[in-house]
Amino acid sequence: MLKINKINVFYGNLQVLRDVSLNINKGEVVAMIGANGAGKTTIIKTISGILKPSSGEVLFEGEDLTKLKIPKITGKGIAQCPEGRRIFPQLTVEENLLMGSYTRNGDKAGKTKDYEWVNSLFPILAERRKQPAVTLSGGEQQMLAMGRALMAKPKLMLLDEPSMGLAPMLVKSIYDIVKTINAEGISVFVVEQNAFMALNHSDRAYVLESGKIVLSGTGKELLDNSEIKNFYLGKKVES
Amino acid sequence: MITSLLSQQIISGIAIGSIYALIALSFSLTVRALNVIHFAQGEFFMLGAFGAISCYMLLGLPFWLAIIITTLVVAALGIALQWVFYNKLWKSHHVFLLMSTQGTAIALANGAMLIWGPDAWRFPKIFSENVYKIGGLTIPEEMLWISFFAILIMIGFNIFLYQTKYGMGFRAAAQDRETAQLMGVNLAVADSFVFGSSAGLGAIGGLLIAPILFITPYIGPIFTIKGFTAAILGGLGSIQGAIFGGFLLGIIENIVTFWISSTYKDAIVFLILILVLLIKPSGLLQKKTIEKV
Amino acid sequence: MKKNISLAILAIVLLVLPLLFQSRYTQHILNMILIYVMLGISVNLIFGYIGALTLGQAAFFGIGAYTAAIISTKLGLSFLPCVLCSAVMGCLAGFIIGIPTLRLKGPYFAIATIGLNNIICIIFLNWEHLTGGAVGISGIPYASILGLQFDTERKVYFLLLVSVFLIFLLYRNMISSHYGKVMIAVRDNELAASAMGIDTAKVKVIVLAISTTIAAIAGAYYAHITNYVAPDAFPVMESITFLIIIVLGGAGFKYGPIYGAVVVVILNEYLQYFEQFNMLIYGVLIMILLLFLPSGIAGIVEIAKAKYYEKKKIYYLKEVGIDEMK
Ligand SMILES: Nc1ncnc2c1ncn2[C@@H]1O[C@H](COP(=O)(O)OP(=O)(O)OP(=O)(O)O)[C@@H](O)[C@H]1O
Ligand SMILES: [Mg+2]
């Protein structure tokens, strides 16, 4: 469904991604793990069009996205849940969710249905409907960001470090939601430093180091890989 | 006696205050969305007044048509300036922006002088010459209409901003440009909306006040500073604050004129501006103080 | 050595310049340039080196001018005591106004200074028995020092030249001293500067007071040269002109005020030919210059100089037999 072909991405003179290729099939949960500054966010931003690669292509259902403007890419069915949530602080919770469906013109019934679905996934959001989003807790904000992305009725959802700054219990429930979303037929690409969670909940995964993909395989394979254990999981896997 | 005099001042204050509110709103729009303090705001206001003169007095169009044409033309001017100058400047140091909007102000004032001449224009009463006397109060009907239309415009603008999808998108863009774009908001349109409506609202202020003011090409700067003071009073960047600040300033100004001194009226406005900046820079309505750098 | 020669040439040029031009008008323009250099220096200190954008410097210019006017006409004091009094008033005003307002950041300080400039103008206009109201004060005597009357444009030129030279020396020493580095540190990163133990508030207020002192001195000269002051000479628009001098000349560059004053005064004179179009063109020019010349003339000169020395260095290296270095 999404196929990235040898992209190179620069910030000014600084090359951040080198010949990165990956693909995501329909219905899959694909994870990417990497240390701070490896370039994970850069990949997400390149897919959603915020950054343009200097070479290479990003194909979504056969169409090259690198030529398109950001709102167009969103309209194709790629929703992003950005790093640090990036909810609109002064908009209400409800308005934040509606912002997610900004590109969907018409289809009122569909939007209402999705709105109710999101509220059933995250009941807390329904309770906080009229509050400015800035008043939500970190975990609630993460849910809001995910709900907002879902309101776009995406075919592919990009998640950038959904577990950042959350308590383990919450991280678990976030990944449960990922499973539910995936069960609805939405493909998910999740980028994480929290390697254990991401690998455990993904069908396949990539490892990114200094802008290069150094390893890939199924989630299970990578979990058992000794290098991964050393570098990304530490002692966690033993416990 | 005292109370009726006071209420008289308050009522007169509301009429001029509604105009300050419109200009304050113009200021707040560009500040909240793009952090641009647009110093030609008073000039858009002045152009609005001259638009009324041209369309209504010189061309003989009906007043409602004069309003529409003038507002659209001034809004288009605001957008054009944005594309030619500010788009390139607003990420640079605030000095450049402030200077370039000052440059705009100078150019607009003198452009207007070339078209309409340096002398004052007197606009005929459009709405009504009636003066109501209620109790001890005299209320010119004209003032009621001015306030009524100004408030109507502000309500309409608020409905657009807070009740419609595009209004929501523009508010989102004011808070987080990149993410709003991810949601599908067209930033170029959002920015032009900000500059266009900001200029247009100022123009409406000028249109409405034309009947009770002598209009010259040089009335801009004083309205710039008063509109800005109003915006600061209510909290720069806040929509409701701008409206509140406008009315408050209008009332304060009238009370000062009446009870203290009319020669020092403007000096007191400036003093208020400085004091609010120093003591409560986030405005009288806001609870927390934000430090803008 | 070379530097001394070029300085000597410059001095000779400056000294014979008024003799080359016979018309009073041209001499008047030279004098205006010198006054604007003073004002440019004053704005460059507070804006160029401290980063506080002031749109109210004309108020201090006005305070200086009115102080000199009032003291010379009402008390009959002679020129130098008048300048001294103006300087003291300018300095005091700088402290009184700077202490509260310099806490304001970025454009907010600028706006406070606009308000202030307006207040001062309203006071000039309305405190009639002291300032003469809208009519202003006339009959201010020509400057005279030790019996020497500066009553022609040419004599005034030499008086101004010497004064500007002294002020420039002071200013140059100030910005190349340790204190100049402190100022730049405050401008570039106030937080870091205060972390280094610099009392940033104090630095800002002191520099503002110095800058307003210079503006007030310029005002005293202005009063004694034109023999007349009125409130409409000191509006916010004038403050904007001072700022334009600096932005055009190069804010934060030593010679910025000189380049700026020369260009702005001459530009203003040329624009007079466009009659009623002059301000329109002026406004548009400001915007265009901001777009294409963001670091001012001094910025361009610096770049040109750097390139020139680069080349020269390479020639030098070749001469002594070292290949061009990358
Ligand atoms: N706007 C930018 N300008 C310049 N360099 C940048 C910019 N954004 C990111 N970088 C650099 O690009 C590299 C990759 O950044 P990226 O944000 O993609 O990392 P990441 O893998 O998401 O890290 P983290 O886990 O900390 O979020 C880093 O070295 C970073 O410093
Ligand atoms: Mg990241």
- B15 or A156: which leads in pLDDT: A156
Q: How far is it, in rounded angstroms, from Cα B33 to Cα A158?
A: 27
Q: CB distance from A88 to chain B under 8 Å?
A: yes
Examine residue C236 and state whether it is found in any structural domain, yes or no.
Answer: yes
Binary contact (B114, C280; C-beta < 8 A): yes
Does the predicted TM-score (pTM) go above 0.80?
A: yes
Q: Is C293 among the domain residues?
A: no
- Pick the closest to residue B30 from B242, B211, B263, B293 (CA basis): B242
What's the gap between Cα C104 and its chain centre? 23
pLDDT digits (tens, 9 = 90+) for B198-251: 999 999 999 888 888 888 998 998 899 899 889 988 888 888 889 999 999 999
- Residue A226 Cβ < 6 Å to ligand 1: no
The answer to whether residues B41 and B227 touch, using CB atoms and an 8 Å cutoff, is yes
DSSP structure class, residue B124:
P
Closest alpha carbon to B141 in B211, B202, B193, B191: B211
> How far is B107 from B21, CA to CA, in rounded Å?
25
pLDDT band at B290 (very low <50, low <70, confident <90, very high): very low
Kindly state whether B80 is in contact with chain C, defined as any CB-CB distance less than 8 angstroms: no
Amino acid letter, residue C309: Y
Which residues of chain B does C283 touch, with a Cβ-Cβ cutoff of 8 Å? 103-108, 110
- Please compute the mean of the pLDDT values over residues B269-292 and round it to a whole number: 72
Rounded distance from Cα A42 to ligand 1 centre (Å): 7
Instruction: Give the rounded distance of the alpha carbon of B112 from its chain centre.
Output: 18
Among A66-70, B144-148, B232-236, C85-89, top mean pLDDT goes to: C85-89
DSSP codes, C123-144: HHHH-HHHH-GGG-EE-PPPEE
Strands A187-192 and A156-160: parallel
The whole-angstrom separation of Cα B172 and Cα B190 is 10
**In the predicted structure, residue A239 carries a pLDDT above the cut 50:** no
Q: Report how far apart, in Å, the C-alpha atoms of C169 and of each of B279, C163, C164, C166, C212 are.
A: 39, 10, 8, 5, 17
pLDDT at position A32, please?
93
**Which pLDDT band holds residue C279 (cuts at 50, 70, 90)?**
confident
Q: What's the rounded mean pLDDT across residues C309-314? A: 71
What is the rounded distance in angstroms from the CA atom of residue B60 to the CA atom of residue C78?
A: 63
Q: Which CATH number fits the domain that encloses residue C243?
A: 1.10.3470
Q: C296 in a domain, yes or no?
A: no
Read off the pLDDT of residues A164-184 as tens digits, 9 standing for 90 and up. Answer: 888 888 899 899 999 999 999
Output the CA angle B137-B139-B141, nearest 5 degrees.
Answer: 160
Identify the band that residue B281 occupies on the pLDDT scale cut at 50, 70 and 90: confident
Is C318 domain-assigned?
A: no
Q: Write b or e for each residue in C206-220: b if 16 or more Cβ atoms lie within 10 A of its Cβ, otherwise e.
A: bbbbbbbbbbbbbbb
Evaluate: CB of A38 within 6 angstroms of ligand 1. yes
Q: Alpha-carbon distance C188 to C49, whole Å?
A: 9
At residue C320 the predicted structure's pLDDT band, cuts being 50, 70 and 90, is low
Q: State the burial class of residue A202 (Cβ atoms within 10 Å of its Cβ: 0-12, 13-18, 19+).
A: buried
Distance CA C311, CA A53 (A): 37
Domain range annotation of chain A: 2-77+154-238, 86-152
Fold of A2-77+154-238: Rossmann fold (3.40.50)
Summarize pLDDT for A133-166 with one digit per residue, the tens.
Answer: 999 998 899 999 999 999 999 999 999 999 888 8
Domain count of the fold of chain C: 1
Q: Is A108 in the pocket of ligand 1 (CB under 6 A)?
A: no
Q: What type of residue is B278? A: L
Q: Give the tokens for residue A66.
A: 């690198």
* Mean predicted confidence (pLDDT) in B52-74: 89
Cα C161 from Cα A189, distance rounded (Å):
72
Q: What is the pLDDT of residue C319?
A: 55
- DSSP-derived letter for residue C320 is T
Residue C128 is predicted with a pLDDT of: 87
| Amino acid C53: pLDDT | 87
pLDDT above 50 (res C324): no
**What letter does residue A55 receive in the DSSP assignment?**
E
* DSSP, res C276: G
- The predicted model gives C146-155 an average pLDDT of 82
Q: In what order do the strands lie in the sheet with A14-24?
A: A14-24, A2-11, A55-60, A63-64
Question: Which residues of chain A are within 8 Å of residue B175 when distances are taken between CB atoms?
Answer: 88-91
SS3 A77: coil
Q: How confident is the model at residue C313 (pLDDT cuts 50, 70, 90)?
A: low
Give the span between the Cα atoms of A35 and A210, in whole angstroms. 8
DSSP C49: T
> What is the mean pLDDT of the segment spanning A15-42?
92
Q: Which residues face A212 on adjacent strands?
A: A209
Fold observed for domain B2-279: ABC transporter involved in vitamin B12 uptake, BtuC (1.10.3470)
Q: Please report, for residues B66, B149, B150, the alpha-carbon distance to residue B156 in angstroms, rounded to integers and kept in the order given.
A: 19, 10, 10
Q: Where are the domains of chain B?
A: 2-279
A50 touches chain B (CB under 8 A): yes
Of chain A, the percentage scoring pLDDT greater than 90 comes to 64
Which residues of B have a CB under 8 Å from any CB of A?
165, 168-169, 171-172, 175-176, 178-186
Residue C264's domain comprises: 28-274
Q: Which of A7, A10, A13, A14 has most ligand 1 atoms within 8 Å of CB, for mutation?
A: A14
Using the Cβ of A237 and the Cβ atoms of chain B, whether some distance falls under 8 Å is answered with no
Q: Cβ contact (<8 Å) for C107 and B98?
A: yes
Residues 6+ apart with CB under 8 A from A174: A142, A143, A146, A162, A163, A166
| B106, closest residue in chain C (CA to CA) | C283
In this prediction, residue C251 carries a pLDDT of 85
CA angle C40, C43, C44 (to 5 degrees): 80
A60 exposure class (CB count in 10 Å sphere: 0-12, 13-18, 19+): buried
Here the tokens at position C45 are 């200190």
Summarize pLDDT for A28-39 with one digit per residue, the tens: 999 999 888 899
Q: Is residue C54 within 8 Å of C47, Cβ to Cβ?
A: yes
* Beta pairing partners, A188: A29, A157
Mean pLDDT for C209-216 is 96
C/A Cβ contact: 3+ pairs below 8 Å: no
Q: Is the pLDDT of residue B286 over 70?
A: no
